[in-house]
Structure 1
Amino acid sequence: MIELHCHTTCSDGSLTPTELVKEAIAQGVKALAITDHDTLAGWEEAQAAAAGHDLEIVPGVELSTVWGNRSLHILGFYPNRDAFEAPLRDRLEGRKRRAEAMVEKLEALGYPITLPEMGDGIAPGRPHIAKAMVEAGHVKTYDEAFNRFLSEGKSAYVQYEKFSAVEGVQLLRDCGAVPVWAHPFLFRGGNIPQVFEVLLKAGLMGLEVYHPTHSSGQAAILSEWCGENQLVKTGGSDYHGPSNDPAHRSISLNHFHLPLTLLDCLKEAALN
């Protein structure tokens, strides 16, 4: 059973890499992808925690890109770290600037907060800001922070810096990774089949078919596209931990009980 989409405290998850590994082992996961937003910082800790256990750590990332001024995420599996770290640092710095801009907006609105010090390689996100707002007494819950201030279109929201989805796919390919469009049917910035065709021409190698937000019909469509275009199928719970991101709180690890054969196909794609 595999989990190919998980987050840790290195981005917007609520479990450390070690805690996530322990939870994965307890849930019977045999292969766990660490796919934090725009950072590789959790890999080593997860690999160390998994040593001696029947659990394979799959190195990954969830790259933040935009299409038509809307967020579009691309998972990348098995990137060449030496080639990827320098350009990825630019994306990480962009996340930091985005977080700072949201903090400034909140202060202008009369809700000053202080973000905690974050170590090198940690990707700040809206859950960190929501947590700071709760701690400052401006809101009572994470949900309130998102619903009133941090969700797209709200007063303190700031869009990602411009880095197109096509550029993201090409960057991942240039760094030896397998680029996979994350949760395609969550995308709201354009016609999904048309976007898919463009990303396919740019070098997309897979689709996240299995995601908690996808209906069975949507998963069937994505699976059909993969078959027609010889693409890898992936899936995962998009696990953020038992709390933190309000969009994922009810989703458990190992949500789909996906077979290891999916990982075999992913590894084969990484060699091509």
Structure 2
Amino acid sequence: MAHSLPQLTDETVTGQVDLHCHSTASDGILSPEALVSRAKSAGVTLLALTDHDTVAGFAEAHAAAVKEGVTLLPGIELTACWGRRVVHIVGLNIDPASTAIADAIAARDRLRHARAVEIGARLEKRGFSGALEGARQHAGDGVIGRPHFARWLVEAGHLPDEAKAFKRYLGAGKAGDVAVVWPDMVDTIASIHAAGGAAVLAHPLKYGLTRTRLQSLLGEFQDGGGDAVEVVCGQQNPVQTREILSLLERVGEVGGTGGRLLASLGSDFHQPDQPWRALGSARLPAGVEPVWNLWQTGATQDQ
């Protein structure tokens, strides 16, 4: 059953919209309540909390959104695989209590736990005693990710900042880069649809793909039932935005019907000291059909 969504008025969607952000429920550093308050201060009128592989922060965020007068979409960012490539699929307007989402989260919890144990063991071998427990303390009740290990390495005095932690130990090809076979992209889209939501391909330019490969990803995402693409993520260069739109034209014009991909946007906010990811900082270009039209206009999607 689809989650009951408040009516999206013109006023709601003509204000600041941010459909991709993170709280302490995953790897953000603001609580869900503090994040909503910050979004309100930034002028955000429509917000989606999309923590990595969890909806644990939704109840707190919802209560804060009611208090602040912000319309909140229940969301999640699910980790998936496209072939051997890790991709992220945002689920918007999901039912956070659905069995489909619970199953998707449980599968990823098992994979994240095994990865965290392995990262901890690898860091221990390099002399960083207590790495796993340190990361767990930073994660709290949230899912453990590499940013939590980075924060612990800095807090413990091993490195000056998190960027160095990723460069030396946690980034691609480093000791903490533990390969995980995440659930398939098309199966992930199906899980989101089963929870009543829309599936959005997150930050397509961050995957480091060639133009040809990115076009293939967009095409397979559309063929697999995907609903929208993050045309803008954070304070993005307009040239990059035009590049995404150009590729989308090749796989089906942005907007329209018949399975064509709609446009989404978000800051990918994690913490306040990253101005390029500030809440409400993204803007959709003119001439695209936004993903929220699925709910504002009452449009339906195949489930």
Normalising by the residue count of structure 2, what TM-score does the alignment of the two structures yield? Answer: 0.80
Q: Which runs of 5+ in 1 are unaligned?
A: none
In 2, the alpha carbon distance for the partners of 1:241 and 1:264 equals 25
Aligned to 2:231: 209
Aligned to 1:110, the other structure's residue is in SS state coil
212-221 vs 134-143, which moves further: 212-221
State the Cα distance separating 1:79 from its structure 2 match: 1.8
Q: 1:108-166 CA deviation, whole Å, 9 max, x = no partner?
A: 1222223234555x211111110111122221110110111111111221123332212
In 1, the alpha carbon distance for the partners of 2:217 and 2:46 equals 30
Is 1:159 the counterpart of 2:186? The answer is: no
Q: 1:49-91 CA deviation, whole Å, 9 max, x = no partner?
A: 1223321111100000122322200011122322211331221
Is 1:197 the counterpart of 2:227? The answer is: no
> What is the count of residue pairs matched by the alignment?
266
In 2, the alpha carbon distance for the partners of 1:254 and 1:270 equals 27
Aligned to 1:18: 33
Aligned to 1:37, the other structure's residue is in SS state coil
Is 1:187 the counterpart of 2:187? The answer is: no
Work out whether residues 267 and 278 of structure 2, in 8 Å CA contact, stay in contact via their aligned partners in 1.
yes
Match of 1:99 among 116, 136, 149: 116
RMSD of equivalent CA atoms: 2.3
In 2, the alpha carbon distance for the partners of 1:59 and 1:231 equals 21
In 2, the alpha carbon distance for the partners of 1:254 and 1:63 equals 22
Work out whether residues 207 and 222 of structure 1, in 8 Å CA contact, stay in contact via their aligned partners in 2.
no
Work out whether residues 7 and 13 of structure 1, in 8 Å CA contact, stay in contact via their aligned partners in 2.
yes
In 1, the alpha carbon distance for the partners of 2:136 and 2:111 equals 18
Aligned to 2:126: 109
Work out whether residues 178 and 269 of structure 1, in 8 Å CA contact, stay in contact via their aligned partners in 2.
no
165-174 vs 219-228, which moves further: 219-228
Work out whether residues 37 and 68 of structure 2, in 8 Å CA contact, stay in contact via their aligned partners in 1.
no
State the Cα distance separating 1:35 from its structure 2 match: 0.3
Work out whether residues 11 and 123 of structure 1, in 8 Å CA contact, stay in contact via their aligned partners in 2.
yes
Q: 1:5-53 CA deviation, whole Å, 9 max, x = no partner?
A: 0000111111110110110111111011000000001101011112233
After the TM superposition, which residues 242-261 of structure 1 pair with which residues of structure 2 at under 5 Å, given as runs? 242-243=272-273, 248=274, 250-257=276-283
Aligned to 1:174: 194
Q: 1:240-266 CA deviation, whole Å, 9 max, x = no partner?
A: 1214xxxx564211112559x836414
Aligned to 1:59: 74
In 1, the alpha carbon distance for the partners of 2:158 and 2:299 equals 48
Is 1:128 the counterpart of 2:148? The answer is: yes
Normalising by the residue count of structure 1, what TM-score does the alignment of the two structures yield? Answer: 0.88
54-63 vs 215-224, which moves further: 215-224
Q: 1:171-222 CA deviation, whole Å, 9 max, x = no partner?
A: 2222222111111122236711112222222111111111135623224325
In 1, the alpha carbon distance for the partners of 2:203 and 2:248 equals 13
Letter in 1 for 2:17: I
Match of 1:227 among 240, 255, 275: 255
Match of 2:52 among 33, 37, 41: 37
In 1, the alpha carbon distance for the partners of 2:267 and 2:158 equals 31
Is 1:82 the counterpart of 2:107? The answer is: no
Instruction: Pick the structure with greater CA Rg.
Output: 2
Letter in 2 for 1:242: P
Match of 1:72 among 87, 109, 123: 87
Aligned to 2:158: 138
Greater RCO between the two (CA within 8 Å, min separation 6)?
A: 1
Aligned to 2:61: 46
